[in-house]
Structure 1
Amino acid sequence: MKKRFGLLLALIAALVMLVVPVGNTTHAQAADNSLEKIQKKGVLVMGTSPDYPPYEFQATVNGKSTVVGMDVQIGKKVAKDLGVKLKIKSMSFDSLLVALQTGKIDMIISGMNPTPARRKNVAFTHTYYQGGYDIVINKTDKAKYKNKDSFSGGTLGAQTGTTQYNASKSQTKNTTVKGMTSQSDLILALQSHKLDGVAMEKPSAEAYVSNNKQLAAIPSDFNMSSSATSSAIAFRKGSTSLVNKVNKTVDQIKKENLVKKDYLPAAGKYLKTNTVNTSMTHYWKAFLTGIEYTLIITVCSVFFGFIIGILLALARMAKGNFFKNLLRWIATAYVEFIRGTPMMVQVMFVYFGLGLFVNLPALTSGIIAISLNSGAYVAEYIRGGINSVNIGQTEAARSLGMSNGETMRYVVLPQALKNIWPSLGNEFITLIKDSSIVSIIGVTELIYQSNIVRSDTYRGVAPIVVIMVLYFILTFTASRILNYFERKMQHD
């Protein structure tokens, strides 16, 4: 199962820890009111990665895509016993622990192992399920592969941050191990023969195999400890009263054998429902929602990014007294820092890091991060455009009695905008595609929706083809509109 942060999230966690007040942690451990806070709030936010059937996955329920599965049933039971409502927040598995530590979610139920390394950072309940591992292969290779030792010279895949990924790396010889963040991506890679096998939990392996006749499952024969093959609910460190209360629910679930008797059979029904109609037209609402959020993110980011870019460009060109020099230095440092760090890191830092002080929704965090990133690039376009305007234009404007501000506003900037319009148009097209990055924090744009469809239908290629076409339509339409205005400006 899932074991530890990836390298990227380790960096984010380190940055977050720099801005977490130490005194708050000490106070939280000294006075635990975690149970009281949840009951007072009336809502229990459950974080999960819905690409791991039958634990958690997407299914169409009453015409709406919904997170279902064994872990969701457990979450509902926990919330009911606490007397609160359950709210499910979907995100990539690698983001869950950071989200828990920064208060974005209240608990994790996502097939997570209570390993010693994790126990140092979060509190776990009693285990609610004991599983094992299989390796999923193409059925045509069933005679070739028998267990993990059969993949010598081959390629084995596993979800990054999981115990099966670590076991694949440490317990195989002469085997290339590739990690991916999504189970559906791994299965797609397997079926396209990029991988020879995919290591995953037995229930998940059985779910994929039962819904795809081209796949088969073989024993993994990994040597794993009990903590590495069991699942538990994770809470923030120091949430003793809350963990003790939830332990009573977990003990009841185990005593009454609810997982095998009720929760797994219910998940199996949803798995069968998903394969009744797997046509892409059946999921047009999901793709339409993805287009809507992609356009919202892009338009908002372009608007705010342009404003930020103008301010940064003017600040970078400021000269004179100490204040102007300081402003220029800050603007230059900002532009260089933003352009020197990945947008994915910026998105995650805005969502998780700034979220420590302001509880920003995922969509708002995504727009802020992309706007800040775009502003740094737009600033350089605008600065270059301003420098391209002949100095004689400025001198002519000043000779007419125009102030510096009026000269910049009415003479220089209009001409600069005309010169940099192609670059700004390219930035807009780029942002349409870059908006896909916010899917890592659970924003339901096109990439996120395509993953939902892939999880629903167990079809790997078809949803990818659909979003490729949709992205092309969006970018081609935008480029035609931008070219029209460019011709108008050139004519004027």
Structure 2
Amino acid sequence: MEKKVKAIIQVIIMFVTLLTVGAIASQASAADNSLQKVKQRGELIMVTSPDYPPYEFQVNKGGKSRIVGMDIDVAKKVAKDLGVKLVIKSMNFDSLLVAIQTGKADMAIGGINPTNERRQSVDFSDIYYSGGQSFLINAKDVNKFKSVKNLRGAKIGAQTGTLQYGLAKKRIPGATVKGMDKSTDLVLALKTNKIDALGIEKPSAEAYVKNDPTLKMIPSGYHLNKNDVGAAIAFKKGSNSLVNAVNKSIVQIKKQHLTDKYLASAGKYMKVNTVNTSMFHYWTYFAKGVEYTILISLVATFFGVLIGVILALMRFSKQKLFRGLAISYTEFIRGTPLMVQVMFVYFGIGVVINIPALISGMIAVSLNSGAYVAEIIRGGINSVEKGQTEAAESLGLTKGDMMRYVILPQAFKNIWPALGNEFISLIKESSIVSIIGVTDLIYQLNIVRADTYRGVMPIFVAMVLYFLMTFLLTRLLNYYEGKMKHAG
């Protein structure tokens, strides 16, 4: 039986892999109509990670939030020249290139350096801005780290997968390089002395220094070719017509020195954010995060239970095929991380069917929850005494009625605490959907941190909100558990 299950799992994995690879390959081999598609649609879809001021960040003005920054102005210029509307999608920085590879967007912008490694996966426009490299240090260490030479053997932080990470590895002897996904996390690590310095683009370093007196900036000392290490716009491989059209806009941007104008505009917006950095001022951000977190959890709970019941019943089926499929699904889902599942549903299946980020997150969390709920329900069914089954049979009940009216009600009563724990876990685990740009509580938390330059307080607020949600749910579940015991 185990060999059959393993064989089924292998077939499923091979099928899914071939489906995804085949879809990507077919799209890659298609004729270049990238510019034509954008113009026919009338929209230029762009992905960015709005947590990297002054390149891209969110501004909170009059309780309303919008994405601004130098890169956003560059993208608006490009869209205007193409005669189309700019549509902005937000997601984590490390998902930007995947988004354009899988057709979720036409281009990605975000202070992206066109390294040789990245050029193997995507196409790049010409460099539109070269800001240079710097290091952020704590103000109290200004005499300790006067230049990059003093950083030898130090602990250096850099955003994972960026040029700064690679440069620190190669150019600073004896340094221990620590990578994180978000610059906000790295700044917090610096301020709490987890790292000695943070490798970062010069404009971003200047933005932090202007808005946080506890930080200082020192030059990187790197001697780099600006034409290779500046910021460029990324496109899907083979998008030559769109790249060429965008490059025409970049020529104008450089000729007219528009990036200086865009940076000045970004600076004004940053002042708006730092006028009031109280968490109450950003309550709408947290409220939206809570709303999406609860919505995802409720949907995942409903479909998770539905999927769990079906899988559990399949496990008790006399049909080997049904049992094999249920076992294969449960083992496969439980054996892979939820983050990978979320990314696969959004990017992998999204190659064939374009599923919105929120729906993708709900699907992935529901499918994941279903596998765990199935095992909980299976345990609950096994916990029902055999005498109950025999009594139902003696009354002439069919197997379907027996399961519906006798076994499942008792099973759910037995497993209610375990199901409650699964529901509570869903609220916390659903935070993983932030990696694909779903504006849940974790996503909003990171936006507030980037906008206010406050590292700890937004985290504390999110912790309190998560606690309140789980505490209230626990009380509700305990109430119904008490009623069940009383009824029994």
> TM-score, normalised to structure 1's length?
0.94
Aligned residue for 2:438?
A: 443
Aligned AA (2:21): L
The answer for the alignment partner of 2:478 in structure 1 is 483
Q: How do 1:406-421 residues align onto structure 2 when only pairs under 5 Å count?
A: 406-421=401-416
Asked if 2 retains the 8 angstrom alpha-carbon contact of 1:131 and 1:229, the reply is no
Q: Does 1:452 align with 2:452?
A: no
SS of the residue corresponding to residue 111 of structure 2 reads coil
Instruction: Please list the CA deviations of residues 293-322 of structure 1 after superposition, one character each: whole Å capped at 9, or x if unmatched.
Output: 000000000000000000111111212xxx
Q: Is the 8 A contact 1:135 1:147 kept in 2?
A: no
| Larger mean Cα displacement after TM superposition, 173-182 or 387-396 | 173-182
Q: Tell me the equivalent position of 2:97.
A: 97
Q: Which runs of 5+ in 2 are unaligned?
A: 1-15
What is residue 60 of structure 1 aligned with on the other side? 60
CA contact (8 A) 1:52 1:204 kept: yes
Matched residue, 2:181: 181
Change (3 A) 1:14 1:401: closer
Question: How far apart are residue 325 of structure 1 and its match?
Answer: 0.2
Q: Give the aligned partner of residue 204 of structure 2.
A: 204
1:63: how far off? 2.6
Residue in structure 2 matching 1:363, options 355, 358, 365: 358
Offset from partner CA, 1:134-155 (integer Å, 9 cap, x none): 1101100000012333233431
Tell me if structure 1 keeps the 8 A contact 2:51–2:451.
no
Structure 2 residue matching 1:402: 3-state secondary structure: coil
Return the alpha-carbon distance in structure 2 between the equivalents of residues 474 and 23 of structure 1.
Answer: 45
Give the match for residue 131 of structure 1.
131
What displacement does 1:219 show?
1.1
C-alpha distance in 2, partners of 1:15/1:131? 42
- Contact 2:115-2:163 at 8 Å conserved across structures: no
Residue of structure 2 in register with 1:87 after alignment: 87
Please state how far the C-alpha of 1:271 moved relative to its aligned partner: 1.2
Q: Please list, as runs of the form range in 1=range in 2, the aligned pairs for 1:230-269 lying within 5 A after superposition.
A: 230-260=230-260, 262-269=261-268
Letter in 2 for 1:458: Y
Tell me the CA shift for residue 169 of structure 1: 1.6
Check conservation: 1:15, 1:353, Cα contact below 8 A: no
Q: Secondary structure at the residue paired with 1:130?
A: coil
Q: Does 1:402 align with 2:397?
A: yes
**Counterparts of 2:147 and 2:313 in 1: how far apart (Å)?**
63
Note the aligned Cα RMSD (angstroms): 1.5
Identity of aligned residues (%): 60
Contact 2:138 2:215 in 1 (8 A): yes
Separation in structure 1 between the aligned mates of residue 466 and residue 385 of structure 2, nearest angstrom: 39
Q: Does 1:384 align with 2:379?
A: yes
| Contact preservation (8 Å) 2:91, 2:436 | yes
How far does residue 228 in structure 1 lie from its aligned partner after superposition? Answer: 4.5
Larger CA deviation: 44-53 vs 135-144: 44-53
Pair 1:438–1:35, CA change in 2 (3 A): same
Quote the Cα distance in structure 2 between the aligned partners of 1:144 and 1:283: 37
Any idea what the Cα deviations from partners look like across 1:224-249, whole Å, max 9, x if unmatched? 34355211111111111111111111
- Give me the whole-angstrom Cα distance separating, in 2, the residues matched to 1:297 and 1:24: 31
Alignment-derived partner of residue 9 in structure 1: none
Would you say 1:349 and 2:332 are equivalent positions?
no
Equivalent residue, structure 1, for 2:21: 18
Shift of 1:21: 5.1
Q: Contact 2:157/2:197 (CA < 8 Å) preserved in 1?
A: yes
The one-letter code matched in structure 2 to 1:161 is G
User: 1:114, 1:227 within 8 Å by CA — same for their partners in 2?
Assistant: no
- How far apart, CA to CA, are the structure 1 residues paired with 2:205 and 2:148? 15
Aligned to 1:273: 272
Q: CA deviation at 1:116?
A: 2.2
Mapped contact 1:16–1:352 kept (Cα < 8 A): no
Q: Aligned AA for 1:18?
A: V
> Matched residues in 2 for 1:113 and 1:376: separation?
40
Q: Which of 424, 434, 438 matches 1:429?
A: 424
Kindly tell me: are residues 21 and 205 of structure 1, through their superposed partners in 2, closer, same or farther at Cα, counting changes over 3 Å?
closer
Moved more, 170-179 or 457-466: 170-179
Q: Is the 8 A contact 2:165 2:199 kept in 1?
A: yes
- How big is the shift at 1:20? 2.2
Structure 1 residues 164-210: Cα deviation after superposition (integer angstroms, max 9, x where no partner): 01111222222221111111111111111111111101001000001
TM-score, normalised by the number of residues in structure 2: 0.94
How far residue 19 of structure 1 moved from its aligned partner, in angstroms, is 4.2
For residue 443 of structure 1, give the secondary structure of its aligned residue in structure 2: coil
Give distance in 2, aligned partners of 1:21 and 1:83.
29
Unaligned runs of 5+ in 1: 1-12
Check whether the contact 2:50–2:67 (CA below 8 A) recurs between aligned residues: yes
* Partner SS for 1:380: helix
* SS of 2:103 mapped into structure 1: coil
Which residue of the partner structure matches residue 306 of structure 1?
305
For 1:447 and 1:362, the matched residues in 2 are separated by 15
- The alignment partner of 1:233 has SS state of strand
Whether the aligned pair in 2 keeps the contact of 1:46 and 1:107 (CA below 8 Å) is: yes
Letter in 1 for 2:55: Y
Distance, in Å, in 2 between the alignment partners of 1:403 and 1:335 is 28
What is residue 111 of structure 1 aligned with on the other side?
Answer: 111
User: Quick one: distance in 2 between partners of 1:60 and 1:15?
Assistant: 45
Q: Which amino acid aligns with 1:184?
A: T
- AA aligned to 1:81 is D
Aligned-partner Cα distance in 1 for 2:448–2:115: 32
Which deviations, in whole Å up to 9, do the C-alpha atoms of 1:380-430 show, x marking residues without a partner? 000000000011101100110100000000000000000000000000000
**Aligned partners of 1:147, 1:360: CA distance in 2, in Å?**
48
Q: Secondary structure at the match of 1:459?
A: coil
